[in-house]
Chains A and B, each alone.
Chain A
Amino acid sequence: MKLDTSGLESFSTLTAPGDDVAGEFSAPPSFQLPNSNDFDGFVKEAIQMVKPAKGTTTLAFIFKHGVIVAADSRASMGGYISSQSVKKIIEINPYMLGTMAGGAADCQFWHRNLGIKCRLHELANKRRISVTGASKLLANILYSYRGMGLSVGTMIAGWDETGPGLYYVDSEGGRLKGNRFSVGSGSPYAYGVLDSGYRYDLSVEEAVELGRRAIYHATFRDGASGGVVSVYHVGPEGWKKWTGDDVGDLHYQYYPVVPSTVEQEMAEATGA
């Protein structure tokens, strides 16, 4: 059983014809099974080990002028903050973005792989792949690895012929179409701010600010989120990075320190 590296290798030679009715439909990829008496238990343990690691906050929402995608930049391993400057918004191609939540390696690799597949689709069909199609390609791959320990909670956002598109895809094999999503341990806090501030007819600047504020509030309350807030906007011409502010700076921007009025100055104790 082999890993699916079809995106990486050059065009293989022709296989014998008349294989199976589906013809060009490639066989699903698979891992070697571990040597274990209790396979189910082992798999459950593996999943539990990985689960808490979706320590992150990412969000995306569709509005009148396109899609806003925002994320923090902290990577944590349990209680240890391993990095404050991780790029969690992955540029699949000039008009499509993916967000990273879960296993960093899994997200990075499969987004790169998706980028390759999108480009091949463009070359073969002389037109760009739709956000629907790209998210479906990723979801099908993740579904075939279901139960094998991949941890991916990603949103695919982009602008195609039918307008702005946003899909949530995860390693359980789920794929959802929607207007507003937030993924990660900080997502409940982000949802609070996002949902109460959302309007379809926001201007681009207002929408960017909403995304930034939502991520900031999530980093304030969630220990596994922090670092720098990145906000991207995807419009008809493609994506553009808008902000990359440190959440510490943002905190004092939103809540500037007010020197408290002193009622009684402490005087030097005199002798007695």
Chain B
Amino acid sequence: MARYDRAITVFSPDGHLFQVEYALEAVRKGNAAVGVRGTDNVVLGVEKKSTAKLQDSRSVRKIVNLDNHIALACAGLKADARVLINRARVECQSHRLTVEDPVTVEYITRYIAGLQQKYTQSGGVRPFGLSTLIVGFDPYTGTPSLYQTDPSGTFSAWKANATGRNSNSIREFLEKNYKEVSGHETIKLAIRALLEVVESGGKNIEVAVMTKEEGLRQLEEAEIDAIVAEIEAEKAAAEAAKKAPPKET
């Protein structure tokens, strides 16, 4: 088995591409990232490891713009992310130049996934070690979208999804609790999902909201703390309500 994982271009006898699977492992070790699609907005949330005291936190933004109406968050190797993001940004502008139209979310996702796939079928290179969550609004229809790509180059659209560390538990939570909501409720749902695996607090979460009118807006630490407090209060109220009924029988 060890012989089949050295070069990317080699299939193993039972049909695996080991390099791609190892890339997925790298993703599983990365920071948790969650995306939730609402009816009028899309929210991205990323786990933030506590920044060192001397580090300028503004230079480690994990949720980035690809264009005015498209944003991306990823889990995995951050250096690979930089390269992929730059290529995607160039493609967004190139598309505007050749057809005088902004890209649709599906188009740029297809482009990024195509790029990731190229590196699973070439000699002497390794795959990109990251999965991305791409959100945005289509320029003419105005519908919000959320897509996910992974190192193998597949992509699909989601109502809500998570990637990175403990993504399975976050996804389970989302499957149980997802409802088509809008505005503030979408943000709360995304943060609640992230809090399943992250220690609470605005210091450890980075959240950004994409709306049709404003584009991407990063939430301030204070805002996040306020919402976390709201969530905690709701949880406490739910606990109390559970304890109450037995007293009345």
Q: Do A and B bind each other?
A: yes
Q: Show the binding face of A for B, using Cβ within 8 Å.
A: 14, 16-18, 21-25, 121, 124-126, 129-130, 132-133, 136-137, 140, 161
Known A-B contacts A21-B90, A23-B90, A25-B94; the reply to A132 vs B100 at CB < 8 A is yes
Task: List residues 154-195 of chain B with CB under 8 A from any CB of chain A.
Answer: none
**Complex Cα spacing A14 to B100, Å:** 27
CA A69 – CA B209 in complex, angstroms? 47
A-B contact pairs, 28 of them (CB 8 A): A14-B121, A14-B122, A17-B115, A17-B118, A17-B119, A17-B122, A21-B90, A22-B94, A23-B87, A23-B91, A23-B115, A24-B111, A25-B94, A121-B99, A124-B107, A124-B110, A125-B106, A125-B107, A126-B106, A133-B98, A133-B99, A133-B100, A133-B101, A136-B100, A137-B98, A137-B99, A140-B98, A161-B140
Question: From residue 88 to 133 of chain B, which have CB atoms closer than 8 A to chain A?
Answer: 90-91, 94, 98-101, 104, 106-107, 110-111, 115, 118-119, 121-122, 125
Q: From residue 186 to 206 of chain B, which have CB atoms closer than 8 A to chain A? A: none
**B198 CB, min distance to chain A CBs, angstroms:** 35
Closest to B104 in A: A125
B99 pairs with A129, CB closer than 8 A: yes
Q: Are B101 and A132 in contact, with the CB atoms below 8 A?
A: yes
Interface residues of B in 50-98 (CB under 8 A from A): 86-87, 90-91, 94, 98
Question: Distance in Å from the Cβ of B124 to the closest Cβ of chain A?
Answer: 9
Main secondary structure of the interface of A (DSSP, over half): loop
Task: List residues of chain B with CB under 8 Å of any chain A CB.
Answer: 86-87, 90-91, 94, 98-101, 104, 106-107, 110-111, 115, 118-119, 121-122, 125, 140
Cα-based distance from A21 to B122 in the complex (angstroms): 18
- Within 8 Å CB of B115, what residues of A? 17, 23
A140 surroundings in chain B (CB, below 8 A):
98
B115 to chain A, nearest CB (A): 7
Task: Collect the chain A residues with CB atoms within 8 Å of residue B86's CB.
Answer: 21
- In the complex the two chains form, what is the Cα distance from A104 to B120 in whole Å? 45
Q: Given the complex of chains A and B, what is the CA–CA distance between A51 and B87 in angstroms?
A: 42
What is the predominant secondary structure among interface residues of chain B facing chain A?
Answer: helix
Closest to A135 in B: B100
**How many angstroms from the CA of A24 to the CA of B90 in the assembled complex?**
10
- Contact call A132/B122, Cβ cutoff below 8 A: no
Chain A proximity of B4: nearest CB distance (Å): 21
Q: With the chains together, A25 CA to B99 CA distance in Å?
A: 13
**B100 contacts which chain A residues (CB < 8 A)?**
130, 132-133, 136
Q: Is the CB of A16 within 8 A of B122?
A: yes
Contacts of B90 in A (CB 8 A): 21-23
Complexed CA–CA distance, A16 and B125 (Å): 10
**One of A21, A24, A130 near B101 (C-beta < 8 A):** A130
Task: State the Cβ distance, A86 to closest chain B Cβ, in Å.
Answer: 31
B190, chain A: closest CB distance, angstroms:
28
Chain B residue numbers with a CB within 8 Å of A23 are 87, 90-91, 115
Return the contact of B125 from the options A17, A24, A126, A132 (Cβ within 8 A).
A17
B-side contacts of A21, CB under 8 Å: 86-87, 90
- 8 smallest beta-carbon distances between A and B, as pairs: A133-B99, A132-B100, A17-B118, A17-B122, A23-B87, A136-B100, A25-B94, A14-B118
Task: Report chain A residues within 8 Å CB of B111.
Answer: 24
16 further contact pairs, Cβ within 8 A, besides A16-B122, A132-B100: A14-B121, A14-B122, A17-B115, A17-B125, A23-B90, A23-B91, A25-B94, A124-B107, A125-B106, A133-B98, A133-B100, A133-B101, A136-B98, A136-B99, A136-B100, A140-B98
- In the complex, what residues of B have CB within 8 A of residue A129's CB? 99
Closest chain B residue to A133, Cβ basis: B99
In the bound assembly, the distance between CA atoms of A130 and B104 in angstroms comes to 14
- In angstroms, Cα B125 to Cα A26, docked, is 22
Chain B residues whose C-beta falls within 8 Å of the C-beta of A125 in the assembled complex: 104, 106-107
Distance A67 CA – B149 CA, assembled complex (angstroms):
43
Provide the residues of chain A in CB contact with B110, threshold 8 Å: 124
Q: Which partner residue on chain A sits nearest B119 by CB separation?
A: A17
Residues of B within 8 A of A126 (CB): 106
Q: Chain B residues with Cβ under 8 A from A22's Cβ?
A: 90, 94
A140 to B107, CA, bound (A): 21
Which of B87, B99, B100, B140 is packed against the most chain A CB atoms within 10 Å?
A: B99
Please report the C-alpha to C-alpha distance between residue A121 and residue B136 in the assembled complex, in whole angstroms.
21
A125 to B119, CA, bound (A): 23
B119 partner residues in chain A, CB cutoff 8 A: 17
Q: How far is the CA of A30 from the CA of B142 in the complex (A)?
A: 40
Cα distance A132–B96 when bound, in Å? 11
Cα distance, A137 to B100, chains bound together (Å): 10
